[in-house]
């Protein structure tokens, strides 16, 4: 590829990153400065404006630029990013340490649960803050803000089942326009009050703390809103690559955000009463309604990015055993997925947040905890990977950890103060999702354990079959099983009720690896057995879409070919029975798992097994 083609490709990827990756952080100027400087109900003083602007600027430099763009993005799991990919990377480094794996899994899953909280609050606060621009143009329309926001969000979630491929093509250009416009608005105000640029000096942030103490610490809860969407930098690394994301941030997005924040600060220095909505007040009157429309589009894009991220994380969580199957919306693009139960859950929670809190200012109290909690957990996991995977010295990890965790925990502490004012919302949401995810994982482990314990040993069974052969029918039978050393329940039921065996019987085990994509040489392992039996292991990465029929067509290279028209798949569908007498989970968790299992999509849909080639046989499993 020529240098010109490489540059064009990088530019195209950077444009896509601007649209998808930076939608959330790009719309944070709508509410950040207003929320941070108006928490005490008084007009902001000049030293507070300088101090908060300095904190916002240096938070973006240290947290977004240095922590995420430079440090965290190094922790790529074969190119993939995000908290689940980071968790898988950390777990891979402690394979022989069960206690360490358990602790890391608990930490990572709680971080993922908080990310769902982000997926609820981001659409609510973003769209609310955009629609609130109407109050600047026509204060009498105040009562319509919440209903209009709810309608926009309802249609946004209703469109999810149709996929986002076509809409996604517009994301980049629209967000480029957005960043150019907000930068120009900022420049206009800075030219009127250029002294605001003095806030680039970090001493103003330090002075703000020395003068105001606890008030300044509480203000950190608002400053963190300028960092929302930083997780998207890492989560979308697999879609765009490190270089385009870094180019877009340093060359375009960061300058535009800094100009807009300092422009709002310049406006407030001259007109402190503009704190009611500094973003829209600095828009020239003739452009106010077009700007409100552009803001609504930008916030919908920001919301779409977070919703899609929640879907993608659900797929990875499901592959790692913490969630349930998904439905695809595009045959060409595997990354475009739709998770019906996640979509419905997010819609209900988002609308509940909008109607309960009613304004972006009130909702900001709930926002910070979800963001700072996930950011803190990401730092912990990344430091663990740096020590175990990259071989960093203990001293370097401690120094980096003290610096990064001091900042993260300060932001988290400032938001924990707001628990009673709305911070409880993401915490309750996160704990609920954490319980669901860990219950699903533990329940599947108990089911597999029960099946293994109750199964017949395979070797004596095959020996007995050879001595007393049943009626044999042509073709291949594939039995999905978790244990290749035991007779699958579906095989026993088939033999008991139909009194036949196929001439070739394959015991298939599917393994999901802790890497995003399985290497070619590890995808298929076939073990020939006596009496026409074969053991077959198929391996997929956690970011892949397991397609068993397609994988079987590649088995010819290892000596066993499959004619799918002459192959029948057998699967046991377990009915889960909660039993308080059995060890494992508490009875209420057993019942919760049984409920989820009844309502989960079948494994056959996840593995893309055609229904006309499938026979399901029921089995009861007590846990």
Note the pLDDT of residue 53: 95
Note the pLDDT of residue 320: 66
More confident residue, 379 or 8: 379
Give tens-digit pLDDT for 279-326.
Answer: 999 999 889 999 999 988 888 888 877 777 777 777 677 666 665 544
Note the pLDDT of residue 29: 93
Note the pLDDT of residue 327: 40
Q: How confident is the model at residue 585 (pLDDT cuts 50, 70, 90)?
A: confident
Long-range contacts of 143-148 (CB under 8 A, 24+ apart): 145/359, 146/354, 146/355, 146/358
CA 385, 388, 392, 396 dihedral sign is positive
Residue pair 99/355 in contact by the 8 Å Cβ criterion: no
Strands 533-540 and 567-577: unpaired
Q: Helix 424-454 vs helix 360-388: angle between axes, to the nearest 10 degrees? A: 50
Which residue shows structure tokens 């099983």? 481
Q: Is the pLDDT of residue 336 over 80?
A: no
What is the average pLDDT across 359-379? 84
- For 337, phi then psi, to 5°, come to -130, 160
How many other C-beta atoms lie within 10 A of the C-beta of residue 288?
A: 17
Give tens-digit pLDDT for 119-169.
Answer: 888 888 888 888 888 877 777 777 888 899 899 888 888 776 655 444 455
Residue pair 205/50 in contact by the 8 Å Cβ criterion: no
Record the tokens describing residue 277, joined without a space.
């909505």
Q: Pseudo-torsion of CA 43, 46, 50, 56, nearest 10°?
A: 0
**Which DSSP letter does residue 269 get?**
H
Note the pLDDT of residue 359: 82
How many other C-beta atoms lie within 10 A of the C-beta of residue 102?
A: 12
Note the pLDDT of residue 165: 45
Note the pLDDT of residue 162: 55
Q: Helix 98-131 vs helix 145-158: angle between axes, to the nearest 10 degrees? A: 130
Using CA atoms, how far apart are residues 116 and 326, in angstroms rounded to an integer? 16
Using CA atoms, how far apart are residues 521 and 513, in angstroms rounded to an integer? 13
Q: How confident is the model at residue 268 (pLDDT cuts 50, 70, 90)?
A: very high
Record the tokens describing residue 199, joined without a space.
């806030």
Note the pLDDT of residue 40: 62
Nearest to 481 by CA among 444, 508, 446, 451: 508
Give tens-digit pLDDT for 53-69.
Answer: 999 999 999 999 999 99
Using CA atoms, how far apart are residues 94 and 104, in angstroms rounded to an integer? 9
Record the tokens describing residue 405, joined without a space.
């965790």
Note the pLDDT of residue 448: 78
Using CA atoms, how far apart are residues 436 and 534, in angstroms rounded to an integer? 36
Residue pair 81/316 in contact by the 8 Å Cβ criterion: no
Q: Is the pLDDT of residue 265 over 90?
A: yes
More confident residue, 456 or 409: 409
């Amino acid at each position: 590829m020529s240098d010109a083609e490489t540059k064009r490709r990088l530019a195209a990827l950077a444009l896509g990153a601007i649209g998808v990756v930076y939608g959330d952080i790009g719309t944070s100027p709508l509410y950040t400065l207003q929320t941070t400087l108006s928490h005490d109900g008084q007009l902001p003083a000049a030293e507070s404006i300088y101090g908060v602007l300095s904190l916002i600027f240096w938070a973006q430099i240290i947290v977004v630029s240095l922590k995420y763009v430079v440090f965290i993005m190094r922790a790529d799991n074969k190119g993939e990013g995000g908290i689940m990919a980071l968790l898988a990377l950390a777990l891979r480094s402690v394979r022989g340490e069960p206690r360490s794996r358990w602790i890391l899994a608990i930490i990572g899953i709680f971080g993922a649960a908080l990310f769902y909280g982000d997926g609820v609050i981001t659409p609510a606060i973003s769209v609310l803050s955009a629609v609130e621009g109407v109050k600047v143009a026509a204060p009498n329309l105040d009562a319509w803000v919440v209903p209009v926001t709810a309608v926009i969000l309802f249609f946004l979630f209703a469109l999810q089942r149709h996929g986002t491929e076509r809409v996604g093509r517009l994301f980049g250009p629209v967000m480029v326009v957005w960043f150019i416009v907000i930068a120009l608005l900022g420049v206009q105000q800075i030219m009127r009050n250029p002294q605001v640029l003095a806030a680039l000096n970090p001493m103003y942030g330090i002075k703000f703390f020395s003068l105001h103490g606890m008030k300044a610490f509480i203000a950190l809860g608002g400053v963190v809103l300028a960092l929302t969407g930083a997780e998207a930098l890492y989560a979308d690394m697999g879609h765009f690559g490190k270089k385009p994301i870094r180019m877009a941030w340093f060359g375009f997005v960061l300058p535009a955000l800094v100009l807009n924040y300092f422009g709002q600060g310049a406006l407030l220095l001259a007109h402190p009463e503009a704190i009611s909505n500094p973003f829209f007040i600095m828009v020239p009157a003739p452009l106010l309604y077009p700007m409100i429309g552009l803001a609504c589009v930008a916030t919908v894009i920001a919301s779409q990015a977070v919703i899609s991220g929640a879907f993608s994380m659900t797929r990875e969580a499901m592959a790692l055993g913490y969630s349930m199957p998904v439905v695809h919306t595009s045959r060409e693009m595997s990354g475009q997925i739709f998770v019906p139960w996640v979509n419905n859950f997010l819609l209900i929670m988002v609308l509940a947040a909008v109607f309960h809190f009613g304004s972006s200012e009130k909702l900001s109290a709930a926002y910070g905890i979800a963001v700072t909690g996930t950011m803190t957990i990401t730092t912990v996991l990344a430091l663990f990977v740096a020590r175990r995977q990259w071989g960093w010295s203990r001293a370097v990890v401690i120094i980096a950890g003290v610096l990064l965790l001091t900042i993260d925990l300060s932001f988290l502490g400032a938001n924990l103060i707001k628990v009673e004012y709305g911070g409880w919302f993401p915490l309750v949401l996160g704990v609920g999702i954490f319980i669901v995810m860990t219950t699903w994982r533990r329940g599947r482990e108990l089911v597999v354990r029960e099946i293994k314990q109750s199964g017949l040993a395979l070797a004596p069974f095959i020996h007995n079959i050879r001595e007393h052969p049943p009626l044999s029918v042509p073709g291949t039978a594939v039995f999905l099983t978790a244990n290749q050393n035991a007779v699958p329940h579906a095989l026993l039921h088939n033999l008991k009720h139909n009194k036949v065996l196929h001439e070739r019987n394959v015991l298939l085990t599917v393994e999901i690896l802790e890497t995003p994509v399985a290497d070619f040489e590890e995808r298929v392992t076939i073990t020939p057995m006596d009496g026409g039996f074969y053991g077959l292991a198929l391996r997929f990465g956690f970011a892949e879409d397991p397609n068993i029929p397609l994988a079987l067509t590649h088995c010819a290279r290892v000596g066993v070919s499959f004619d799918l028209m002459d192959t029948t798949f057998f699967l046991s569908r377990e009915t889960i029975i909660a039993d308080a007498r059995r060890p494992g989970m508490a009875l209420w968790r057993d019942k919760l798992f049984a409920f989820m299992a009844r309502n989960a999509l079948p494994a056959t849909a996840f593995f893309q097994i055609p229904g006309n080639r499938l026979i399901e046989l029921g089995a009861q499993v007590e846990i």
